[in-house]
């Protein structure tokens, strides 16, 4: 089965590895002990540490036999955040989001709100998805994995997704806590909506997704024509791409902004993809480029073309789409005021 | 291996459908051999289809893959039984 | 924000003769029929959500904030067993039921709401985390109503569940349940404050400055903790069961908080997490 693995192989002690990564991140951001006490930790994931749970269960099966062994030995979605929060001396605001593929995108919205409510000064949002059998075989059993082992979002020959693992982190800070030269990107907020038409696929008419995008725009007080570019969800599954395309046509009409996608490169990282794809986008914008997908054909009847040429990144508002099983839809907006504006 | 359509096969398929789709209120007698399985009265959806296909594969070793093949096989109990019998030949 | 309605289903599962809460009959009562394909974890969610809303017609933008400490343990264990012990693919339905949004999907569909839906988890403070998110959204005017519910199940066999939860193997019983608040921005008898998290009771009391003299705890306090609350009339929720060693479920603080709400008097509710944090929620008139 195809899978996008990170170059860094699974660490022997996953928890220690995660804590060290986060500690490095907080050091890079120059957050001292005082600032850390004012920093919330929000984790969004589909599977958390289920890979450790699987490993532990396999060991127990080998030692005790499958009758005695306890399946799913590690429970408590919030354990990871508490453990990291305790070790890193963070604020007691450690919240864990479990809404499948929108988990870390949803965390972004509430990160902003926690800061605006003055409950914390910084928020570390994590999107986390380590490779595990439950997700991989669960998706395979649903027939959603691409037989061609390649993701072609919105193309006519799209045939499903490839899963991936990853860790994405975004640090949100109150303006008063952010040096002026780091005020380039601003999270404008976002919206969440529920499409309970079908448990496993979005409604292909795109109305519910369009509603969420429009809500996000309205809350941020900006118009569709103000959007500079769109990071699509683009899972390359038949119905979900159809729904996303229909929604984009509803919201933007004939003037569709440039659209770009990450999943052909990194796979669908499920609960991590919200924060991870925002982090990757900001990295691209910092070097002045939009990510492009060279093999995107754009021949789709869906009328959405993923950019296949390297383009300079425009300043302005970026829309991030993210949708999940069970009809949980998320739209985020980020403003890039450009590299020059900070001087 | 099941290589012909029998009443026994059809009864078992009805039991599988009731079980896999959690249609507790039904008995095999409620499902006619030629009644449409998708939409209409029984109203099975795509998730039911996946459940049935996986159960059929486990019990009979018959793979029904892809949306089109599944919809064709799952028109009725008759077509599903025929698909299984044909596969064995 | 105000409390429009509340509901709590708290069930004690005897370790020797386990009998699980009958959530399907609650669903049957409010919905009129059984819902197929949902596991007990989802049943607990749907039963609680339907019972708390009592057939109200809620505005479409009503937010639904679900909390669980451990999630769909039974079905997740079943999926893991299928994969790791039996070397088979998990059944599509089982896998789908383990996904974060599945419980919310069924509930929002029945309630016909399409607004914000979240699933929050924060160890022993999972319900309080969901409550915080609901209150933040209500105060921003994202909706007029918010439905907040916490639910955790006992997964059988009991000895496996006790091991997972790190409880003594001889615990006489385990709790499970589903506990709900329907909040609105319309004036009602009781209002609920934003949950406050802190690592000492002294800080909790100084920050909340409770007008009420009643405190309800969702944990058995140490002598030191009792001392710190000596000025207050302290009630410990389910003290007898806690003393007997009954294992609380992930949503236990929610059960305690809903119990406090049902007393309809001003009260400060305090819960405690395993790593020593407290969470206070003030109920005022």
pLDDT tens-digit map of C187-201: 888 899 999 999 999
Domain containing residue B69: 7-23+33-88
Q: What pLDDT was estimated at residue A343?
A: 43
Contact A198 B45 (CB under 8 A): yes
Contact C83 A133 (CB under 8 A): yes
Average pLDDT over residues B51-73: 92
List, for residues C142-184, the tens digit of each pLDDT value: 999 999 999 999 999 999 999 999 999 999 999 999 999 999 9
Judged by a CB distance cut-off of 8 A, whether residue C203 touches chain A is: no
> Mean pLDDT for chain C?
96
Residue C212 has pLDDT above 90, yes or no: no
In chain B, the number of structural domains is 1
Q: What pLDDT was estimated at residue A9?
A: 63
Residue C102 has pLDDT above 90, yes or no: yes
Contact B47 C88 (CB under 8 A): no
Residues 6 or more apart whose CB falls under 8 angstroms from that of A336 comprise A184, A185, A228, A285, A313, A315, A316, A317, A318
Instruction: Retrieve residue B45's tokens.
Output: 């959806």
List, for residues A212-264, the tens digit of each pLDDT value: 999 999 999 999 999 999 999 999 998 999 999 999 999 999 999 999 999 99
- Using a CB–CB cut-off of 8 Å, the residues of B that contact A are 45-47, 50, 54, 65-66
How near does any CA of chain C get to the CA of B67, in Å? Answer: 15
Interface test with C, best of A194, A198, A205, A208 (most C CBs within 10 A): A194
The matching CATH number, chosen from 3.40.50.1370, 3.40.190.10, 3.40.47.10, 3.40.50.620, for C2-184 is: 3.40.47.10
Classify residue B1: in a domain, yes or no: no
List, for residues C200-209, the tens digit of each pLDDT value: 999 998 887 7
Judged by a CB distance cut-off of 8 A, whether residue A194 touches chain C is: yes
Average pLDDT over residues C41-57: 98
Chain C residues close to B25, C-beta within 8 Å: 34
Tell me the DSSP string of A171-197. Answer: EEE-GGGS-GGG-SEEEEEEEEEE-TT
List, for residues A261-305, the tens digit of each pLDDT value: 999 999 999 999 999 999 999 999 999 999 998 878 877 789 998
Terminal Cα distance for chain C, rounded: 11
How near does any CA of chain A get to the CA of C125, in Å? Answer: 9
How near does any CA of chain A get to the CA of C243, in Å? Answer: 24
Maximum C-alpha span of chain B:
35
Chain C residues close to B50, C-beta within 8 Å: 92-93
d(CA C97, CA A185): 38
Which of B22, B24, B54 is facing C89, going by the closest CB pair? B54
Interface test with C, best of B18, B20, B46, B67 (most C CBs within 10 A): B20
Candidate from A35-49, A92-106, C181-195 with smallest mean pLDDT: C181-195
Q: Which helix (H) or strand (E) holds A62?
A: helix A50-64
Fold for the domain defined by A3-177: Peroxisomal Thiolase; Chain A, domain 1 (3.40.47)
Contact B47 A199 (CB under 8 A): yes
How near does any CA of chain B get to the CA of A142, in Å? Answer: 7
Instruction: Retrieve residue B8's tokens.
Output: 């026994």
How near does any CA of chain A get to the CA of C122, in Å? Answer: 5
Chain A residues close to C164, C-beta within 8 Å: 70, 72-75
Chain C residues close to A142, C-beta within 8 Å: 92, 95-96
Residue C88 has pLDDT above 60, yes or no: yes
3 state DSSP class of C268? strand
The matching CATH number, chosen from 3.40.630.30, 3.40.50.1580, 3.40.47.10, 2.160.20.60, for A185-342 is: 3.40.47.10
Instruction: Retrieve residue C116's tokens.
Output: 């914000």
Q: What pLDDT was estimated at residue B1?
A: 66
Average pLDDT over residues C220-228: 96
Chain C residues close to B21, C-beta within 8 Å: 36-37
Task: Enumerate the CATH 3.40.47.10 domain ranges in chain C, comma separated.
Answer: 2-184, 191-284
Contact A328 C101 (CB under 8 A): yes
Contact A141 B46 (CB under 8 A): no
Are A3-177 and A185-342 the same fold in CATH? yes
Give the CATH number of the domain where residue B61 resides. 1.10.1200.10
Classify residue B75: in a domain, yes or no: yes
Nearest to B36 by CA among B78, B2, B70, B69: B78
Chain A residues close to B54, C-beta within 8 Å: 141
Classify residue B71: in a domain, yes or no: yes
Interface test with B, best of A138, A143, A196, A199 (most B CBs within 10 A): A143
Residue C95, φ and ψ in degrees, nearest 5: -60, -45
Classify residue B28: in a domain, yes or no: no
Classify residue B56: in a domain, yes or no: yes
Classify residue B67: in a domain, yes or no: yes
Classify residue B12: in a domain, yes or no: yes
3 state DSSP class of A101? helix
List, for residues C239-248, the tens digit of each pLDDT value: 999 999 999 9
User: What Cα–Cα distance (Å) separates residue A101 from each residue in A276, A290, A327, C73, C158?
Assistant: 11, 23, 10, 19, 32
What is the residue extent of each domain of chain A?
Answer: 3-177, 185-342
| pLDDT band per the 50, 70, 90 thresholds, residue A81 | very high
Nearest to A198 by CA among A243, A236, A233: A243
Residue B68 has pLDDT above 90, yes or no: no
List, for residues A129-177, the tens digit of each pLDDT value: 999 999 999 999 999 999 999 999 999 999 999 999 999 999 999 999 9
Residue C14 has pLDDT above 60, yes or no: yes
Q: What pLDDT was estimated at residue A295?
A: 79
Interface test with B, best of C34, C43, C92 (most B CBs within 10 A): C92
Chains in contact with chain C (at least 3 beta-carbon pairs closer than 8 A): A, B
Percentage of chain A beyond pLDDT 70 is 98
Instruction: Retrieve residue B40's tokens.
Output: 């209409």
Nearest CA in chain B to C92: B51
| pLDDT band per the 50, 70, 90 thresholds, residue A10 | low
The matching CATH number, chosen from 3.40.50.2000, 2.60.40.420, 3.40.47.10, 3.40.190.10, for C191-284 is: 3.40.47.10
3 state DSSP class of C216? strand
């Amino acid at each position: 089965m195809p899978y996008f693995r990170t170059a860094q192989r699974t660490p022997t002690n996953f928890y220690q590895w995660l804590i060290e990564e986060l500690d490095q991140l907080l050091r890079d951001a120059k957050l001292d002990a005082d600032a850390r006490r004012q920093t919330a930790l929000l984790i969004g994931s589909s599977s958390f540490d289920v890979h450790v749970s699987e490993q532990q269960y396999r060991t127990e099966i080998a030692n005790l036999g499958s009758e005695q062994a306890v399946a799913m030995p590690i429970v408590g979605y919030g354990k990871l955040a508490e453990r990291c929060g305790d070790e890193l001396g963070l604020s007691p605001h450690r919240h864990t989001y479990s809404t499948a593929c929108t988990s870390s995108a949803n965390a972004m919205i509430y990160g902003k709100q926690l800061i605006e409510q003055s409950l914390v000064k910084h928020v570390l949002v994590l999107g986390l998805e380590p490779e595990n059998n439950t997700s991989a075989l669960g998706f395979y059993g649903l027939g959603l994995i691409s037989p061609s082992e390649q993701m072609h979002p919105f193309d006519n020959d799209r045939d499903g997704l490839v899963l991936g693992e990853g860790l994405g982190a975004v640090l949100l800070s109150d303006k008063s806590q952010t040096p002026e030269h780091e005020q380039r990107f601003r999270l404008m907020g976002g919206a969440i909506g529920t499409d309970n038409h079908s448990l496993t696929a979005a409604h292909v008419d795109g109305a519910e997704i369009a509603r969420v995008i429009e809500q996000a725009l309205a809350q941020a007080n900006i118009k569709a024509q103000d959007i500079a570019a769109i990071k699509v969800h683009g899972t390359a599954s038949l119905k979900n791409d159809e729904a996303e395309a229909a929604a984009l046509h509803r919201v933007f009409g004939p003037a569709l902004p440039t659209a770009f996608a990450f999943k052909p490169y990194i796979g669908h990282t499920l609960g991590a993809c919200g924060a991870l794809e925002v982090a990757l986008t900001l990295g691209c914008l910092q070097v002045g480029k939009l990510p492009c997908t060279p093999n995107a054909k754009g021949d789709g009847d869906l009328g959405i073309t993923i950019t296949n040429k390297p383009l300079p990144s425009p300043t302005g508002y970026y829309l991030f789409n993210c949708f999940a099983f069970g009809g949980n839809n998320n739209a985020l907006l980020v403003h890039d005021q450009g590299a020059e504006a900070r001087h | 291996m099941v290589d012909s359509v029998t009443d026994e096969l059809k009864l078992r398929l009805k039991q599988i459908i009731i079980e896999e789709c959690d249609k507790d209120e039904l008995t095999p007698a409620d499902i006619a051999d030629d009644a449409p399985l998708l939409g209409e009265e029984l109203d099975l959806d795509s998730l039911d289809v996946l459940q049935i296909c996986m159960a059929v594969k486990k019990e009979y070793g018959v793979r029904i893959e892809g949306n089109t093949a599944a919809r064709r096989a799952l028109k009725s109990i008759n077509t599903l039984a025929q698909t299984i019998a044909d596969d064995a030949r | 924000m105000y409390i429009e309605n509340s509901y709590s289903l708290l069930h004690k599962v005897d370790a020797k003769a386990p009998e699980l809460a009958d959530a399907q009959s609650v669903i049957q009562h409010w919905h009129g029929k059984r819902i197929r394909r949902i596991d007990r974890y989802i049943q607990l969610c749907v039963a609680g959500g339907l019972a708390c809303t009592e057939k109200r017609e809620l505005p479409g933008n009503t937010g639904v904030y679900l909390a669980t400490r451990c999630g769909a343990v039974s079905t997740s264990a079943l999926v893991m067993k299928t994969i790791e012990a039996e070397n088979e693919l998990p059944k599509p339905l089982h896998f789908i039921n383990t996904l974060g949004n599945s419980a919310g999907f069924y509930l929002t569909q029945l309630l016909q709401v399409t607004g914000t839906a979240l699933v929050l988890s924060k160890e022993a403070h999972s319900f309080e985390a969901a409550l915080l998110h609901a209150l933040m959204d209500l105060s921003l005017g994202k909706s007029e109503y918010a439905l907040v519910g916490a639910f955790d199940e006992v997964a059988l066999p009991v000895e496996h569940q006790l091991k997972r939860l790190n409880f003594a193997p001889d615990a006489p019983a385990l709790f499970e349940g589903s506990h709900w608040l329907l909040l609105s921005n319309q004036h009602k008898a009781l209002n609920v404050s934003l949950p406050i998290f802190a690592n000492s009771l002294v800080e909790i009391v100084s920050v909340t400055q409770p007008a009420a003299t009643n405190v309800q705890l969702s944990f058995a306090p140490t002598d030191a903790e009792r001392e710190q609350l000596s000025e207050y009339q302290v009630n410990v929720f389910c003290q007898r069961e806690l003393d007997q060693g009954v294992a609380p479920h992930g949503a236990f603080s929610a059960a305690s908080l809903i119990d406090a709400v049902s007393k309809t008097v001003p009260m400060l509710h305090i819960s405690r997490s395993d790593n020593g944090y407290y969470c206070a929620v003030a109920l005022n008139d």
